[in-house]
Amino acid sequence: MEQVRLNNRPAHLEYIKGSGSSIVAAGPLIGPDGHAVGGFFLLDVANLAAAEDWAAKDPFRALELYGSVEIQEWKYVFGSGLEPRP
């Protein structure tokens, strides 16, 4: 499975980069041994359905490389480099 992940990583990264302003932040989750154990994507999308659609189109998802996918709605209030929201 690791080789499948490595072979498809360019398509996965291209998908993320091609998502434009929908991606606020993204990167690997790191385990205690210093190796990637998953990924984290902070999206700025209209609603939960849009987030689910985005996740479903990730090439890694289509290849079933994720053991699980959790999508949680989050309300942005403030942060570095972004405008505060009500």
Domain boundaries, the chain: 2-62
**24/22 Cα distance (integer angstroms):** 6
DSSP 20: G
pLDDT, mean over the chain: 89
Q: Could you tell me the pLDDT band of residue 31, with boundaries at 50, 70 and 90?
A: very high
In terms of residues, how long is the chain? 86
Q: Please identify which residue in the block is written with the tokens 């989050």.
A: 74
Average pLDDT over residues 30-38: 92
Q: Could you tell me the pLDDT band of residue 77, with boundaries at 50, 70 and 90?
A: confident
Q: How many of the other CB atoms lie within 10 Å of CB of 25?
A: 10
Asked whether 66 and 38 are in contact (CB, 8 A), the reply is: yes
Q: Which CATH architecture has domain 2-62?
A: 2-Layer Sandwich (3.30)
Q: Could you tell me the pLDDT band of residue 5, with boundaries at 50, 70 and 90?
A: confident
Residues 6+ apart with CB under 8 A from 54: 19, 22, 43, 45
Average pLDDT over residues 41-69: 92
**22/46 Cα distance (integer angstroms):** 9
